[in-house]
Structure 1
Amino acid sequence: MIPSPSLSTLLALAAALSAVDAVANTTASSWVPRTCDNNPTGPLTPPFKQRSCRAPVELLDYRKVTTHYPWTHKPECAPSSLEGKNRHPYCAFTRDDFRGTQGLIVLTDSDIASDLGHILDDRDPKWWRAPAEEPLPETPPYSIVYLEEKGLGVVADRFIPKGTVIMRDAPAILKLVDRPKSLDKDEAIIVAERAFVKLPKEEQMQILDLARNMGGPRLDDVVRTNAFRIKLQGVEHYGVFKEVARLNHECRPNAITRWSSMRVQMEVIAYKDIKPGEEITLSYAPLNMVSDDRADLIMGTWGFQCQCSLCKSEAEVFLSDAHRRQMDRIMEELDIAEVRTPVLVADLAEELEEMIDEESLDAQRGDIYGILSRVYSEMGDFKGALRYAEKGSLKQEYYKGWDDSRTWQARRFVEILKMRIRRSKM
Structure 2
Amino acid sequence: MSVSTSARNSSIQLFDSGSTMRNNKLRAVIASLLFTRMGAATLPHDATICSPPSQLLQLPRSCPPPVDDAAASKTGDWLPWTNPPYCVKPLNKPRSDPPYCVFSSDHYRGGHGLSIITTPKLAARIVDSLDDGIVPPHVRDHPSSFLAGGDAPAPSFEVRDLPGRGKGAVATRKIRQWEVAMVAYPAFISQMDIWEALGADQIRAVLRQAIQQLPGEQQEIIFSLDHSTGGALVQDILNTNIFGIELDGVMHMGLYPETSRLNHACRPNAIWRYSKDNLAMEVVAFRDIEPGEEITHSYTPLGLTQTERQDVLKEWGFTCQCPLCSSSRRAIQQSDRRRNRIRTIRARLESADDGGGGGSLTGDEEVDGLAAELLRLVAEEGLEPQLVVAYMEVWNFEKAREYARMCEEAWVRYGGVEHDNVEGVRLLWRDLREMFTASNSAGQDFQCFKDDQHTMYIDSAGRNCKSVSYCLLRRHLRIQLLDPSQPGALAGDVG
Alpha-carbon separation, structure 2, partners of 1:131 and 1:409: 25
Residue 424 and residue 145 in structure 1: after superposition, are their counterparts in 2 closer, same or farther (change >3 A)? Answer: same
* 1:118 and 2:118 matched: no
Deviation at 1:220, TM superposition (A): 0.9
Residue 382 and residue 76 in structure 1: after superposition, are their counterparts in 2 closer, same or farther (change >3 A)? Answer: farther
* 1:361 and 2:383 matched: yes
Within a 5 Å distance, the mapping from 1:324-403 to structure 2 comes to 324-337=339-352, 338=356, 339-340=360-361, 341-364=363-386, 367-368=388-389, 371-373=390-392, 375-376=393-394, 381-403=396-418
Q: Secondary structure at the residue paired with 2:386?
A: helix
Residue 166 and residue 83 in structure 1: after superposition, are their counterparts in 2 closer, same or farther (change >3 A)? Answer: closer
Tell me the TM-score normalised to structure 2 length.
Answer: 0.70
Deviation at 1:169, TM superposition (A): 0.3
Which structure 1 residue ranges, 5 or more long, are not aligned? Answer: 1-5, 19-35
Alpha-carbon separation, structure 2, partners of 1:417 and 1:408: 14
* 1:166 and 2:188 matched: no
* 1:305 and 2:343 matched: no
**2:117 and 2:210 in contact (8 A); partners too:** no
Q: Partner letter of residue 350 of structure 1? A: A
The corresponding residue for 1:151 is 166
User: Per-residue CA shift, 1:238-279, capped at 9, x if unaligned?
Assistant: 111111101111111122111111121111111221111111
Residue 114 and residue 81 in structure 1: after superposition, are their counterparts in 2 closer, same or farther (change >3 A)? Answer: farther
Alpha-carbon separation, structure 2, partners of 1:83 and 1:254: 42
Q: Partner letter of residue 341 of structure 2? A: Q
**2:270 and 2:283 in contact (8 A); partners too:** yes
* 1:208 and 2:230 matched: no
**Larger displacement relative to structure 2 (411-420 or 241-250):** 411-420
The corresponding residue for 1:70 is 80
**1:372 and 1:388 in contact (8 A); partners too:** no
Q: Partner letter of residue 94 of structure 1? A: S
**Larger displacement relative to structure 2 (69-78 or 218-227):** 69-78
Which structure 2 residue ranges, 5 or more long, are not aligned? Answer: 1-40, 144-152, 442-495
Alpha-carbon separation, structure 1, partners of 2:336 and 2:420: 29
Residue 54 and residue 231 in structure 1: after superposition, are their counterparts in 2 closer, same or farther (change >3 A)? Answer: closer
Tell me the TM-score normalised to structure 1 length.
Answer: 0.81
**1:363 and 1:395 in contact (8 A); partners too:** no
**2:91 and 2:199 in contact (8 A); partners too:** no
Alpha-carbon separation, structure 2, partners of 1:59 and 1:345: 60
Aligned to 1:98, which of 102, 108, 120?
108
The corresponding residue for 2:142 is 136
**2:42 and 2:424 in contact (8 A); partners too:** no
Which 4+ residue blocks in structure 1 deviate beyond 6 angstroms?
none
The corresponding residue for 1:31 is none
Alpha-carbon separation, structure 1, partners of 2:173 and 2:70: 52
User: Per-residue CA shift, 1:14-52, capped at 9, x if unaligned?
Assistant: 33xx7xxxxxxxxxxxxxxxxx9x742112439xxxx7x
The corresponding residue for 1:236 is 251
Q: Secondary structure at the residue paired with 1:325?
A: helix
Q: Alignment length, in residue pairs?
A: 384
Alpha-carbon separation, structure 2, partners of 1:131 and 1:143: 23
Alpha-carbon separation, structure 1, partners of 2:391 and 2:57: 44
Deviation at 1:336, TM superposition (A): 2.0
**1:54 and 1:69 in contact (8 A); partners too:** no
Q: Partner letter of residue 129 of structure 2? A: I
Residue 180 and residue 284 in structure 1: after superposition, are their counterparts in 2 closer, same or farther (change >3 A)? Answer: closer
- Pick 1 or 2: higher relative contact order, CA cutoff 8 A, min separation 6: 2
**1:176 and 1:238 in contact (8 A); partners too:** yes
Q: Partner letter of residue 131 of structure 2? A: D
Q: Secondary structure at the residue paired with 2:106?
A: strand
Deviation at 1:133, TM superposition (A): 5.0
**1:215 and 1:221 in contact (8 A); partners too:** yes
**Larger displacement relative to structure 2 (416-425 or 280-289):** 416-425
Alpha-carbon separation, structure 2, partners of 1:74 and 1:403: 32
The corresponding residue for 2:90 is 80
**Larger displacement relative to structure 2 (205-214 or 413-422):** 413-422
Alpha-carbon separation, structure 2, partners of 1:221 and 1:156: 28
The corresponding residue for 2:65 is 55
- Identical positions, percent: 33
Taking only aligned residues, the RMSD between alpha carbons, in angstroms, comes to 2.9
Q: Secondary structure at the residue paired with 1:102?
A: coil
User: Per-residue CA shift, 1:165-195, capped at 9, x if unaligned?
Assistant: 1110001111222238542344223211122
Alpha-carbon separation, structure 2, partners of 1:388 and 1:59: 52
The corresponding residue for 1:42 is 57
**1:40 and 1:124 in contact (8 A); partners too:** no
Q: Which has the higher helix share?
A: 1
Deviation at 1:122, TM superposition (A): 8.2
**2:89 and 2:95 in contact (8 A); partners too:** no
Alpha-carbon separation, structure 2, partners of 1:285 and 1:403: 25
Alpha-carbon separation, structure 2, partners of 1:13 and 1:7: 18
Alpha-carbon separation, structure 2, partners of 1:346 and 1:7: 30
Q: Partner letter of residue 136 of structure 1? A: H
Deviation at 1:425, TM superposition (A): 2.0
Q: Secondary structure at the residue paired with 1:335?
A: helix
Alpha-carbon separation, structure 2, partners of 1:200 and 1:124: 22
